[in-house]
Amino acid sequence: MITQKEYKKRRDILAKKLSKNSIGIIFSSTYKTRSNDTDYPYRQDSNFYYLTGFKEDNSALVFVKTKNETKTVLFVQKKDAQLELWTGKRMGKKKAKKRFLVDEVFVSDDLQKRLEKYVVGKKTLYCDLSSKDKRVKRFLKQSSAIKTQKNIIHFIQEMRLIKSPSEINLIKKAISITKDAHHSVMKSKKIGKKEYELLAQIEYEFKSKGAYSDAYTSIVAGGNNANTLHYIKNNKPLIDKELILIDAGSEYKHYASDITRTIPVNGKFTSSQKKLYKLVLDTQLEIISMIKPHVKRSDLQKKAEELLTKGMIKLGILKGNYKKLIKKQKHKKYYPHGIGHWMGLDVHDPAPYINYDDKEIPLDKGMVLTIEPGLYIDKNDKSVPKKYRGIGIRIEDNILVTKDGYENLSKDIVKTIKEIESISFKS
């Protein structure tokens, strides 16, 4: 659980990054239209939530900084009985003032009027300059007299790079729920089912265990479908002797997990599947073992590409001189993506990879990232031995960088061939 003291501490850190005589604003997210007059379920903007823990829409957080002090002001949707009849109860101004450790709270209807006062005499304004939100555009127009504009989001994303103990605990909870979902699918009969039936099983586990939702659109890809990296149709039948790539992670109290496992439909790997799977797993284990402070993600990427290339040469998937193959990036045909990404409030946490000096940010204590090597061999690729065609494998875990090394937060989700075959339903 993240306390209001921690949210206030984050706001205080951000306030120190803002220049004197400035104003900064961050808006809540808006509802997104699904179809005509129906919306997708509401999810708070991650940056706004990171600074407030407030889940309601039609809200804004304003920083008003003078030479001597910084005032934080929260704007919230006013209490409206008629509106609440349709869309649910609101916290309102009075309760928000008691709950949140901000200097002032006003209703959102007063935002424009208040901003007119706040911008007077200010030299710099901070907001999300890349946003297409009409409220941001209106704010920029209203503050046009202020010539210096800076993107406040960059500061927040930099702060989000290092996770606090409370954030790590929420990520661990999301992973625990995700573990139950993956294990549930492994233990179930799969021959004769459709991909979406496994998806329903996963989503049931998420919601029944208290997860807010899935952290992203889950992938349940049987056979050759796994060779489409963002396959989300999830509507094909599962075939005996093929593999299923399942990329699914729950979101718990706004914090993500991101786990991929590749398992046999009938509970037992074929000889060819084992060889490819072992190559990917051995690569992943080697890369994870390298993780510690000061290591660069680019070094992890380079090592993964080297290991997979050497392995593919041994299996006859790639042919030729190792160094030449690497130089020509021939491995990209079968391993086209990166070794991993930051993870937190967003499954692809938008924290920076490059610092202000245009240099790569090395790993440090408190960072959370995924490690996910893979191999994808299309069924129509005649340059590859037939026994490997139509196989797509990815193995993905969530790793916390510690003081001296790492902690695999998802280590309890089975992934060795022996473990998977032992837990799987035998068809």
Which residues are catalytic, by number? Answer: 37, 230, 247, 258, 337, 341, 348, 372, 376, 394, 396
Whether the CB-CB separation of 198 and 233 falls below 8 Å is answered with no
CA distance 401 to 366: 6
Residue 379 CB: number of other CB atoms within 10 A? 15
Which among 199, 229, 195, 235 has a CA at the least distance from the CA of 214? 199
Which residues contact residue 236 at a Cβ distance below 8 angstroms, ignoring those fewer than 6 apart?
Answer: 194, 195, 222, 223, 225
| 3-class secondary structure, 305 | helix
CA distance 398 to 287: 12
| 3-class secondary structure, 16 | helix
Whether the CB-CB separation of 396 and 247 falls below 8 Å is answered with yes
CA distance 237 to 356: 49
Nearest 5°: the CA angle 361, 362, 368 is: 95
Whether the CB-CB separation of 77 and 58 falls below 8 Å is answered with yes
Over the range 295-317, which residues count as b (16 or more CB within 10 Å of their CB) and which as e?
Answer: bebeebbebbbebbbbbbbebeb
Q: How many CA atoms lie within 13 A of 297 on its CB side?
A: 22
- Which residues sit opposite 384 in a β-bridge? none
Q: Annotate 340-379 with DSSP letters as a single string.
A: --B-SSSSS----SB-TTS-BPPP-TT-EEEE--EEEE-T
Element holding 313 (H helix, E strand): helix 297-315
Which among 343, 195, 379, 178 has a CA at the least distance from the CA of 261? 178
